[in-house]
Amino acid sequence: MDELYEEYEEKLPLSIIEEVKKYTEGLGKMKLKKVLEEVYKEYRSSLAEPGESVGIVSAESIGEPGTQMTLNTFHFAGVSEMNVTTGLPRLIEILDGRKEISTKMMEIRLKSPHNKGKDIKELAKQIKETTFKEFIKSIDIDMVELTMTITLNDDKRESAARIAKDLDKAVKGFSFRFDKEERIIVKGSSKEESLGSLYRLKEKIKGIYISGIKGITQVLPVKRDEEFIIMTAGTNIKDIARLDFVDLEKTMTNDIFEIEKNFGIEAARQAIINEILKVTRTQGIEIDVRHIMLVADTMCMSGHVLGINRYGIVKEKPSVLARASFETPIKNIMDASMTGEADFLNSIIENVMINQPIPTGTGLPVLIMKGK
C-alpha cells in the first residue's frame, strides 16, 4: 500500500492523495492501484496547460463579480456582532494593500477554561484600552491659582493614586497630586504656565492611556460554536500576544499590514487569502481559491505586501510601456528616458501596441527553422 502511495506522491498533489486515502480505506491493493491510475488520468487531463493566461483569468474571476457586490459599508451579521466593512469597499481595501484599514478587528480566542466563558467579561474589560476620560466625573479650573481639580468617578476612586502617578509620568510640565478628598490636583510645575495651557491640558489628559491594550477601542465577548471569544474593534496583536490567557495560535486580526509586520510575508499572504474569502463568502459569491491565491502571491511576490495600483505592483513591472499604459504615462516615459531604460517587449501590452503576437497561449510556441 504505502509503496503504491509513495509512487504516486511524485505524480499527484498531496491533497488528492489524502482524499484517495479517505475514500479507499479497506480496499485491496489491485483496486487501489486502479483507483490511483484513474485519479492520475483525471488529474493529468485537468492540468492547466503551459501558456495558459492564468493571471487574466484570475483578474476576471475577481473583477467580474465585483459588479454584484454591495457597496454598503456597514453590515449587520446577526444581532450581537459588530459592524464591519464588507463587500466591494473591503475588497478594494485589501487589494490596495492599504496600511490603514477602515475597520480594524480582532477575534481573540482564549485558553481553557476561559473559552468556556469563565471570567470572560473581566478579561474583555482588561483588554480594552481605557483613557483617562472614562475616569473623570468633573474638571474644575481655578483661574486665580491656576490649578485644575479633577473629580473621579465614584467607582474608580480606588485606583486614583496610581492614575495620578501615570498622569504625572505622561505629562511633562505639570504635577499631579492626589489629595485626601480623593481628587487629583493639577498644578503647573513652573510659574510661567498660563491659563491657556491649562485649558489645553484639560483636553489633552482626557486622551491619556491608563490601562488595557493600546488600539483596542471596543470589546465584545461573543459565543461562537460552543466557544467564547472576544471580538474587538481595533487591533494590536503584539500586545495581545503577551497576555497569558490568550490562545495566540487561533487569534486573528484583519489588519494585513500588522500581520506582515509581526509574522512575516507568508502569514500576510495567507491573511490576504482569508480576508478575500471572507468578503466573497459574506457576499455569497463563489470564487475558486486558486484565483485568490494567485492575487495574493502577486501582491506578496516582492517580499512586501504591495497594492494593486501604480505605486505597488504596476511600478514593479520591468516594461516602460506596460507601466505607461496603466496610469501616469508621461511620468513613466520621462523617467525611462532619463535612465535610458530599454523595453524588451516581453509582456502582453507592448506586443499589442506594436501588433506582434502576444507571448501567452497560442502565441507562445515558436517554430525555429534553418534557413537555406
Partner 1 sequence: MEIPAQKKIAKIEFGIMSPKFIKDIAAAKIVTPELYDKEGYPVDGGLMDIRLGVIDPGLKCKTCGNKLKECPGHFGYIELARPIIHINFIGVTMDLLRSTCRECSKILIPKNRIDKYKEQLNEIGQISGVSGQRKLIKEIIANLKTQGKCPYCKAKQFKITLEKPTTLIENEKRVSPIEIRTRLEKVTDDDLELFGVNPKALRPEWMVLTVLPIPPVTMRPSITLESGERSEDDLTHKLGDIVRINHRLFENINAGAPEIIIEDLWDLLQYHITTFFDNEVAQLPPARHRGGQPLKTITSRIKSKEGRIRHNLAGKRTNFSARTVISPDPMLQINEVGVPFVIAMKLTVPERVTDWNRDYLKKFIEKGPHIYPGANYIIRPDGKRKKITDETKEQLLEEIQPGFVVERHLMDGDVALFNRQPSLHRMSMMCHRVRVLPGLTLRLNPAVCAPYNADFDGDEMNLHIPQTEEARAEAEMLMEVQTQLISPRYGLSIIGCNQDAISGNYILTAADFKVPRDVGVDMLAAVGIDDFSKLPNKEIVSGKEIFSVILPNDFNFKGLSRIYKSSPDHPDAVVEIKNGKLISGIMDKNNLGEGSGLLLRTLHKKYGQEEMVDILGKVYRLGIEVLFRHGFSVGLADIDLNEQTKNDIRVMVVDAEDEVQSFINAYHDKTLDVMPGRSMDETVELRILERLNRARDDIGRIVQVKANQKSDIMKMVQSGAKGNIINLAQMSACVGQQALRGHRINMGYKDRTLSCFKRFDLGSSSRGFIKNGFKNGLLPHEQFFMAMTGRDSLMDTALRTPKSGYLYRRLSNAMQDLKVEYDFTVRDASGRIVQFQYGEDSIDVSKSEAGKINVRKIVHSLE
Q: Among residue numbers 266 through 295, which ones bind partner 1 (CB under 8 A)?
A: 286-291, 293-295
**One residue of 10, 15, 100, 144 binding partner 1 per CB under 8 A:** 15
Cβ-based neighbours of 19, under 8 Å, separated by 6 or more: none
Question: Please, which of residues 111-130 interact with partner 1 by CB under 8 A?
Answer: 121
Q: How far apart are CA 108 and CA 193, in angstroms?
A: 45
Question: Please, which of residues 33-72 interact with partner 1 by CB under 8 A?
Answer: 34-35, 38-39, 42-43, 45-67, 69-72
Is 24 one of the binding residues for partner 1 (CB under 8 A)?
yes
> Shortest distance, CB of residue 179 to partner 1, whole angstroms?
34
Residue 148 and residue 186 in contact, taking contact as beta carbons nearer than 8 Å = yes
Binding mask 195-234 for partner 1 (x = CB under 8 A): -----------------------xxxx-------------
**One residue of 146, 185, 273, 353 binding partner 1 per CB under 8 A:** 353
**One residue of 3, 10, 79, 244 binding partner 1 per CB under 8 A:** 79
> Shortest distance, CB of residue 255 to partner 1, whole angstroms?
20
Is 368 one of the binding residues for partner 1 (CB under 8 A)?
no
**One residue of 339, 367, 368, 372 binding partner 1 per CB under 8 A:** 339
**One residue of 6, 119, 134, 341 binding partner 1 per CB under 8 A:** 341
Question: Please, which of residues 309-338 interact with partner 1 by CB under 8 A?
Answer: 309, 313-315, 317-322, 324-326, 329-330, 333-338
Name which of 60 and 179 has its Cβ closer to partner 1. Answer: 60
Cell of 367: 517554430
Residue 14 and residue 22 in contact, taking contact as beta carbons nearer than 8 Å = no
Name which of 170 and 220 has its Cβ closer to partner 1. Answer: 220
Cα 241-243-246 angle, rounded to 5 deg: 75
Name which of 67 and 190 has its Cβ closer to partner 1. Answer: 67
Decide: helix, strand or coil at residue 93.
helix
> Shortest distance, CB of residue 56 to partner 1, whole angstroms?
5
What is the per-residue DSSP string for 211-249? ES-TT--EEEEEEETTEEEEEEES--HHHHTT-TTB-GG
DSSP bridge pairs for 228: 223
Decide: helix, strand or coil at residue 140.
strand
Distance separating the N- and C-terminal Cα atoms of the chain: 58
Count the alpha carbons within 13 Å of 325 in the hemisphere toward its beta carbon: 14
> Shortest distance, CB of residue 118 to partner 1, whole angstroms?
16
| Chain centre distance of CA 198 | 40
Phi–psi pair at 159, nearest 5 degrees: -95, 10
Q: Give the number of residues written for the chain.
A: 372
Cα 236-241-242 angle, rounded to 5 deg: 110
Q: How far apart are CA 325 and CA 320, in angstroms?
A: 9
**One residue of 8, 95, 163, 186 binding partner 1 per CB under 8 A:** 95
Name which of 211 and 309 has its Cβ closer to partner 1. Answer: 309
> Shortest distance, CB of residue 323 to partner 1, whole angstroms?
9
- Segment contacting partner 1 by CB under 8 A, of 1-9, 10-18, 144-152, 200-208: 10-18
